């Protein structure tokens, strides 16, 4: 569905005065051959002038200005036969090689600028002459053909092989015939085998009369083989094509083809060898010709591989024409056919797809784009003047650049693919097919190529006063459909412009799909102009007139672009179709530009070759904006008052820009795009289609969301918000039809695929919702499987307001049920779902309750939470009143369809209505043997006890308990058992509150709490139930001794029992290290001062112990308990201190060892790959690349178990990471954390020593010495700890990483942290320098204290 359009044209002319300066021969110089120097971007041209061959050069794509000579003379060579066989530039050797018909091989050395560094050097000669010569694509070999031999040489012109031109051998790839399928083994019917003995008549006129008899040589694209087309010297022998290897060995010979002509071309991709054949028919009469030509194909093995017929040149009606040559483009996409006829030459461009060619009688075209053959003649190129081409060649690097020469001109034409898509309301697409334009409106018909909805012949009929030709038979250079109107324009290279009004039918029906009418035609009459692009548009001026604007782009012979703008006022009546016409010509400041048409107005823009964009209507203005490079395809449109320009370059970069803003690169691998329905839609080479909202583009460009420092990242961030979807490989956009929400794509093989992308559908749905077209939006969502919840999500308030209109437009019960079901299953909030269902239900109830009963039931069922009881209650209400029994049964069946039958049965049973239960059970097809006995049993019970049974069956235990309470006090014991069975204590307390049974329930509740070891709660329950004895036991178990002894006093417990309780609970307090509380119990309730003092000394509360002895006595406790206990406490502190010191030293030594290993053996420490293991070809057991966590794994597996891990296993793995096991990667971090904890323990130990030292100082000399030792040990450890911390943490820590959410992220974060220094992850601890010591212990003064003195007590 694409056309070949001309991108640019450049003409270089060889002037007569230039030739006269280098030769005195009066014969005109004729360009006979060209050669490309890709490295220097130079094109060499060889001209023949008399007996000389003149070599010229010109810049390949940088042609000089018209005032300067286009060609620069380089050198010449004199030869008796100046016909040129080959001219080639050898890039690696920097030489220009000329092969002459006379047999001479001439070489010139090239300089850096392309000038000759030497004179002509004849490196070899063939005495018999050279008839054909062709270089291999890589310039490694040259194949020559003489009268008798085929000679193969290398680039140094050493002969590698020489074989005869004619041979009877087939070649090395000759097929082996085993007799299968031969005529001798086939069945011949009634005629028998006798006819096999009759000699075949040989047609003596199988050769072409146009054949010049010369051989032709062509190479395959990879240079491995070359083919030679030769004609035998024997009379009436047809041509054959022989294939040789690059070593000169014959591989195969083509099968005989009558009428095979000389031209031959091997497709660069190596698939086919193309040649031409003139139509030869054999029959009972003499052989005759009809002048038709075919392009035939051969495989490398010589077998035929299809054919297609050529179109007779449209510039000639005579029967005589011949094919002079065939040329494949470097990318194998285009086949150029050089046709020579009586009035001049024509070059036809053909393309092929789907790997298939087929002849369709009387159909002349050749582009296979579908499973059926789809053939189009895309371009016909004729010389500007009535003359002939002398050479035709494709540029070796630029696949779409064609170089043609006439006698004195070198013409460079560049082509590009172009899609002709029209207005969005019709979706019309036009394809050029020779002198026909194939049109298909994709809004109403999706016709795949090669077919089309309408074939428009390119015939421009006369209008009043028009002198243009009546028929334009040549292929138009460019066609264009208006983006806003149903009109088509076409332009020819000679200046003919035609505009049609298509009158496309949009409504469905059997009428003609379109009825084109010639609207306007014009012959620009500018002989100097080469016209290549047209744009058309029409707007309604008023009720009687329309304004037609036609903009035609061309270029003068000087190369500058010229725009011809025609504004025509047309009448809506047929009596006077044309009212007035204005014309103006605008000269543009550049060459080879391109028109950019506005999508919504008559405004046109011109883009220069440098990417600058100008307005066509005015001259001399500065560019509006620019693209970074030239974009062949571009459009302009207005959004929110901003005019945007979007262009796609040949490199695949899609740009978007606007006036006064920076450029945005939307894609760097795009292959097609279009603008429609509020989106820029483009496809990429990664097989995705993107939908970029134009509103977001405007915001992206104008609000400076492009980061000044990193615009690429900003563009990528914007693209991440765009919707995209995968498409088939190589898909390209044909057109978009917003009204049908369809995007038409074409696959590489040519078939069409129409999709309905979600963004386009949602855009149409949004517009319908805003306009109140609820039914249309609903049907669009239903058809394209869009969640119907978007109808509510778009504007919930507007939907709730328009519920009545929504129901009125939808009406169908099935549609309303579908909508409610989708709403119930959507992700909307539960409150929104309930509100929508209730609103629609109320609206349906007011309209027709009997009609919409199913929809009302659906609203009850799908709301959140479902209201099954209300639905069943509605059925009970409608039964016998609004609905007939049949309708009730249908409604019951419907609600059973919506809800699980068992759940509905339970709901009906929970309503205590046995008739409803039976109704549901019967239609749910439940077995009566299952539910009838159960229902009979329930019917026999009293009312409340019956409901208790039903609720217990439905597991509604709290409701069952209430019904059991209502059944009477006789069921209290059963209720108490029911409470204990289902743990309904709180409900029971509420039900039996303020009754006699309340205390019983409280007691049961307390016992349950006591059994669950919730002693505190149990004690409160027992107290509430006035069961103080059990409350005391619960308080004792909870170690709440204050409440315990308060209750003992209230209960008047005997003193001996109180002491027993005191000793028992004090022992429990001591086991929990609650020494002070235990001492208080011993003193207040047991009266045992000795045990109290002992408990205080054990808890290092020596001050309190001395106070108790001083207050309550006896004094001997000081000597017997306090003083020995102080030494025991000191000994325990010393033991703890030694343990901490030993831990610190071990961990510091291990840390030093790890840091040495980190420096000396980093690979082993970090677990990185070893370089010396690269050459070991052994597969490991692991299924993925090893990480820092797999360095120390013991049993690697070949399958991943990540998906089988439970949450408990994941938490266990997280605990293992950082466990600090020796040899693991996190050992260093574990040691650092352990040292941090050691600092905290040191602070606690300092507080204990601070409490103990004053007492040791005053007790005795022994105690004083122990105090001094304890203080020195503590100070020594504190210094050692500070020094170790300074050694470990040399620099301050950095900020910690934020916490991760998921388990996977946490594990990945742990893995990344292994690459960080552990010092950055563990903060440096600080040892507090509080004044905890005693100054007297740091002096040498001896202070003598008497142990029994009052100061010590």
Q: Report d(CA 239, CA 259) in Å as an integer.
A: 8
- Range from 356-370, 458-472, 1105-1119 carrying the lowest mean pLDDT: 356-370
Q: Report d(CA 367, CA 452) in Å as an integer.
A: 14
How many residues are given for the chain? 1353
Residues 386-402 have pLDDT tens digits of 478 899 999 998 888 89
CA-wise closest residue to 348 among 386, 319, 317, 313: 313
Q: What is the pLDDT, as a whole number, of residue 1182?
A: 37
Of 349 and 352, the one with more pLDDT: 349
pLDDT at 1242 over 50: yes
DSSP 1204: G
Q: Report d(CA 326, CA 393) in Å as an integer.
A: 10
Q: Report d(CA 1224, CA 1189) in Å as an integer.
A: 9
Of 357 and 693, the one with more pLDDT: 693
Q: Report d(CA 1117, CA 1122) in Å as an integer.
A: 7
pLDDT tier at 275, thresholds 50, 70, 90 = very high
Q: Report d(CA 117, CA 743) in Å as an integer.
A: 59
Q: Report d(CA 517, CA 148) in Å as an integer.
A: 62
Residues 331-347 have pLDDT tens digits of 888 889 888 877 778 88
pLDDT tier at 186, thresholds 50, 70, 90 = low
Q: Tell me what the mean pLDDT of segment 355-379 comes to.
A: 35
Of 779 and 1343, the one with more pLDDT: 779
pTM exceeding 0.75: no
The angle subtended at Cα 126 by Cα 121 and Cα 127, nearest 5°, is 115
Residues 100-117 have pLDDT tens digits of 999 999 999 998 888 888
**E strand map for 352-426:** 377-381, 391-394, 401-405, 409-418, 420-421
- How many Cβ atoms sit within 10 Å of the Cβ of residue 859? 29
pLDDT at 1187 over 50: no
pLDDT at 825 over 50: yes
Token pair recorded at residue 278: 């003139």
Token pair recorded at residue 377: 């003649």
pLDDT tier at 765, thresholds 50, 70, 90 = very high
Residues 901-919 have pLDDT tens digits of 888 888 888 888 888 888 8
Residues 586-607 have pLDDT tens digits of 888 888 889 998 887 767 899 9
Q: Report d(CA 660, CA 654) in Å as an integer.
A: 19
Q: Tell me what the mean pLDDT of segment 170-195 comes to.
A: 71
- Range from 68-72, 462-466, 613-617 carrying the lowest mean pLDDT: 462-466
Q: What is the pLDDT, as a whole number, of residue 194?
A: 64
pLDDT at 1324 over 70: no
Average pLDDT, the chain: 80
The arrangement of strands across the sheet holding 42-49 comes to 30-37, 42-49, 52-59, 72-78
- Range from 1096-1105, 1132-1141, 1189-1198 carrying the lowest mean pLDDT: 1189-1198
Q: What is the pLDDT, as a whole number, of residue 1300?
A: 42
Q: Report d(CA 817, CA 976) in Å as an integer.
A: 48
Phi, psi (5° rounding) for residue 392?
-135, 130
Handedness of CA 680, 686, 688, 693 (dihedral sign): negative
pLDDT tier at 240, thresholds 50, 70, 90 = very high
Q: Report d(CA 1184, CA 1186) in Å as an integer.
A: 6
pLDDT at 154 over 90: yes
pLDDT at 1306 over 90: no
The angle subtended at Cα 863 by Cα 768 and Cα 770, nearest 5°, is 10
pLDDT at 1301 over 60: no
Phi, psi (5° rounding) for residue 614?
-120, 155
CA-wise closest residue to 1133 among 1019, 1042, 1249, 1022: 1249
Q: Report d(CA 336, CA 957) in Å as an integer.
A: 89
pLDDT at 143 over 90: yes
Q: Tell me what the mean pLDDT of segment 1335-1345 comes to.
A: 48
CA dihedral 765, 768, 773, 777 (to 10 degrees): -10
Q: How many CA atoms lie within 13 A of 791 on its CB side?
A: 31
pLDDT at 1297 over 50: no
- Range from 25-29, 1045-1049, 1209-1213 carrying the lowest mean pLDDT: 1209-1213
Q: What is the pLDDT, as a whole number, of residue 1010?
A: 86
- Range from 700-709, 937-946, 971-980, 1050-1059 carrying the lowest mean pLDDT: 700-709
Token pair recorded at residue 248: 């000169």
pLDDT at 52 over 60: yes
Instruction: Identify whether the C-beta of residue 593 lies closer than 8 Å to the C-beta of residue 623.
Output: no
Per-residue HEC secondary structure of 1291-1336 comes to: CCCCCCCCCCCCHHHHHHHHHHHCCCCHHHHCCCCCCCCCCCCCHH
């Amino acid at each position: 569905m694409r056309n070949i359009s001309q991108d640019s044209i450049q003409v270089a002319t060889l002037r007569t005065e230039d030739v006269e300066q280098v030769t005195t021969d009066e014969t005109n110089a004729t360009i006979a051959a060209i050669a490309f120097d890709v490295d220097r971007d130079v094109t060499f041209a060889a001209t023949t002038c008399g007996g000389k061959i003149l070599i010229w050069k010109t810049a390949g794509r940088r042609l000089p200005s018209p005032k300067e000579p286009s060609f620069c003379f380089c050198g010449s060579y004199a030869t008796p036969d100046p016909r040129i066989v080959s001219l080639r530039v050898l890039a690696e050797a920097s030489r220009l090689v000329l092969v002459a018909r006379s047999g001479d091989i001439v070489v010139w050395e090239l300089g850096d600028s392309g000038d000759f560094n030497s004179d002509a050097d004849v490196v070899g000669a063939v005495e018999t002459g050279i008839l054909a010569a062709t270089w291999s694509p890589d310039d490694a070999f040259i194949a020559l053909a003489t009268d008798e031999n085929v000679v193969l040489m290398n680039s140094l012109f050493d002969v590698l092989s020489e074989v005869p031109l004619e041979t009877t051998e087939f070649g090395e790839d000759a097929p082996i015939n085993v007799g299968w399928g031969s005529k001798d083994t086939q069945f011949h019917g009634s005629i028998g085998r006798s006819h096999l003995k009759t000699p075949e008549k040989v047609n003596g006129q199988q050769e072409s009369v146009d054949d010049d008899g010369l051989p032709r040589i062509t190479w395959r694209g990879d240079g491995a083989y070359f083919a030679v087309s030769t004609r035998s010297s024997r009379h009436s022998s047809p041509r054959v094509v022989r294939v040789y290897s690059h070593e000169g060995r014959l591989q195969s010979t083509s099968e005989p083809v009558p009428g095979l002509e000389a031209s031959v071309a091997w497709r660069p991709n190596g698939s086919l060898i193309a040649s031409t054949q003139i139509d030869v028919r054999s029959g009972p009469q003499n052989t005759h010709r009809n002048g038709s030509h075919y392009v035939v194909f051969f495989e490398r093995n010589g077998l035929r591989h299809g054919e297609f017929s050529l179109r007779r040149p449209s510039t000639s009606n005579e029967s005589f024409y011949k094919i002079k040559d065939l040329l494949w483009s470097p990318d194998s996409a285009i086949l150029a056919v050089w046709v020579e006829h009586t009035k001049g030459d024509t070059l036809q461009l053909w393309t092929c797809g789907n790997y298939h060619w087929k002849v369709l009688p009387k159909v002349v075209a050749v582009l296979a784009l579908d499973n059926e053959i789809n053939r189009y003649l895309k371009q016909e190129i004729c010389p500007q003047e009535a003359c002939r081409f002398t050479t035709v060649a494709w540029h070796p690097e630029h696949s779409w650049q064609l170089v043609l020469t006439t006698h004195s001109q070198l013409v460079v034409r560049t082509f590009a693919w172009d899609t002709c898509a029209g207005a969005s309301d019709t979706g019309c697409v036009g394809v050029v097919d020779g002198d026909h334009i194939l049109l298909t409106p994709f809004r109403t018909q999706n016709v795949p190529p090669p077919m089309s909805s309408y074939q428009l012949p390119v015939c421009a009929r006369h209008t009043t006063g028009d002198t243009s030709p009546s028929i334009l038979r040549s292929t138009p250079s460019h066609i264009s459909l208006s983006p806003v109107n149903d009109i088509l324009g076409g332009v020819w290279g000679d200046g003919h412009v035609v505009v049609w009004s298509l009158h496309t039918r949009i409504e469905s029906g059997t009428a003609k799909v379109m009825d084109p009418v010639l609207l306007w035609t014009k012959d620009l009459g500018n002989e100097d102009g080469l016209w290549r692009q047209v744009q058309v548009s029409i707007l309604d001026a008023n009720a009687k007139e329309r304004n037609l604007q036609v903009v035609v782009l061309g270029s003068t012979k000087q190369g500058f672009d010229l725009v011809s703008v025609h504004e025509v006022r047309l009448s809506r009546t047929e009596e006077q179709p044309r009212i007035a016409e204005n014309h103006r010509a605008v000269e543009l400041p550049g060459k080879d530009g391109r028109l950019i048409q506005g999508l919504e107005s008559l405004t046109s823009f011109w883009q220069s070759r440098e990417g600058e964009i100008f307005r066509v209507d005015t001259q001399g203005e500065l560019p509006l904006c620019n693209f970074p490079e030239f974009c062949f395809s571009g459009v302009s449109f207005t959004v929110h008052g901003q005019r945007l320009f979007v262009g796609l370059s040949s490199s695949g970069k899609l740009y978007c820009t606007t006036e006064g803003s920076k450029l945005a690169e939307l894609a760097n691998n795009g292959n097609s795009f279009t603008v429609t329905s509020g989106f820029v839609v483009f496809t990429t080479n990664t097989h995705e289609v993107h939908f970029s909202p134009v509103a977001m583009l405007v915001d992206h460009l104008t609000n400076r969301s492009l980061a000044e420092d990193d615009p690429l990242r900003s563009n990528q961030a914007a693209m991440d918000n765009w919707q995209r979807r995968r498409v088939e490989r190589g898909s390209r956009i044909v057109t978009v039809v917003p009204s049908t929400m369809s995007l038409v794509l074409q696959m590489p093989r040519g078939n069409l695929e129409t999709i309905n992308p979600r963004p386009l559908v949602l855009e149409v749905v949004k517009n319908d919702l805003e306009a109140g077209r609820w039914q249309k939006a609903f049907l669009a969502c239903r058809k394209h499987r869009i969640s119907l919840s978007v109808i509510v999500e778009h504007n919930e308030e507007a939907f709730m307001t328009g519920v009545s209109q929504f129901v009125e437009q939808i009406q169908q019960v099935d549609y309303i049920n579908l909508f409610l079901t989708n709403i119930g299953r959507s992700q909307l909030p539960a409150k929104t779902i309930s509100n929508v269902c209730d609103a629609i239900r109320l609206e349906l109830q007011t309209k027709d309750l009997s009609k919409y009963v199913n929809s009302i039931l659906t609203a009850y069922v799908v709301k959140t939470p479902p209201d099954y009881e209300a639905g069943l209650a509605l059925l009970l209400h409608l039964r016998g009143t609004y609905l007939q029994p049949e309708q009730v049964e249908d409604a019951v069946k419907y609600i059973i369809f919506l809800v699980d039958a068992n759940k509905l049965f339970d709901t009906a049973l929970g309503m205590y209505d046995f008739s409803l239960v039976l109704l549901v059970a019967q239609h749910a097809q439940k077995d009566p043997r299952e539910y009838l006995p159960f229902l009979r049993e329930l019917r026999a019970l009293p009312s409340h006890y019956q409901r208790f049974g039903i609720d217990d069956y439905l597991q509604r235990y709290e409701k069952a308990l209430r019904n059991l309470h209502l059944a009477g006090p006789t069921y209290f014991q059963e209720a108490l058992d029911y409470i204990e069975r289902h743990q309904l204590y709180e409900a029971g307390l509420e039900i039996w509150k303020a009754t006699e049974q309340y205390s019983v329930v409280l007691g049961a509740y307390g016992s349950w709490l006591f059994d669950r070891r919730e002693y505190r709660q149990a004690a409160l329950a027992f107290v509430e139930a006035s069961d103080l004895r059990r409350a005391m036991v619960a308080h004792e178990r909870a170690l709440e001794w204050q409440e315990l002894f308060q209750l003992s006093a209230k209960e008047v417990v005997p003193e001996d029992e109180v002491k027993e309780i005191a000793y028992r609970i004090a022992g429990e307090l001591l086991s929990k290290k609650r020494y002070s509380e235990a001492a208080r119990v011993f003193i207040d309730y047991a009266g045992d001062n000795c045990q109290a003092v002992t408990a205080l000394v054990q808890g290092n509360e020596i001050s309190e112990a001395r106070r108790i002895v001083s207050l309550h006595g006896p004094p001997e406790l000081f000597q017997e308990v306090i003083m020995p206990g102080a030494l025991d406490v000191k000994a325990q502190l010393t033991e703890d201190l030694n343990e901490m010191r030993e831990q610190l030293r071990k961990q510091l030594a291990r840390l030093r060892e790890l840091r040495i290993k980190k420096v000396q053996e980093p690979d082993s420490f970090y677990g990185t790959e070893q370089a010396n293991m690269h050459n070991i070809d052994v597969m490991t057991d692991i299924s993925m690349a090893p990480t820092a966590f797999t360095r120390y794994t013991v049993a690697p597996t070949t399958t991943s178990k990540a998906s089988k891990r439970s949450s408990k296993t994941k938490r266990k793995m997280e605990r293992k990471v950082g466990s600090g096991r020796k040899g693991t990667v996190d050992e260093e971090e574990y040691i650092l954390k352990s040292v941090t904890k050691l600092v905290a323990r040191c602070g606690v130990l300092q507080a204990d020593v601070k409490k103990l030292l004053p007492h040791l100082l005053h007790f005795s000399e022994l105690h004083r010495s122990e105090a001094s030792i304890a203080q020195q040990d503590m100070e020594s450890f504190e210094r050692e700890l500070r020094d170790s911390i300074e050694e470990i943490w040399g620099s301050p820590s950095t900020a910690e990483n934020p916490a991760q959410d998921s388990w996977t992220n946490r594990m990945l974060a742990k893995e990344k942290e292994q690459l960080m220094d552990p010092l950055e992850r563990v903060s440096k601890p600080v040892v507090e320098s509080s004044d905890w010591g005693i100054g007297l212990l740091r002096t040498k003064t001896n202070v003598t204290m008497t142990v029994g003195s009052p100061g010590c007590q």
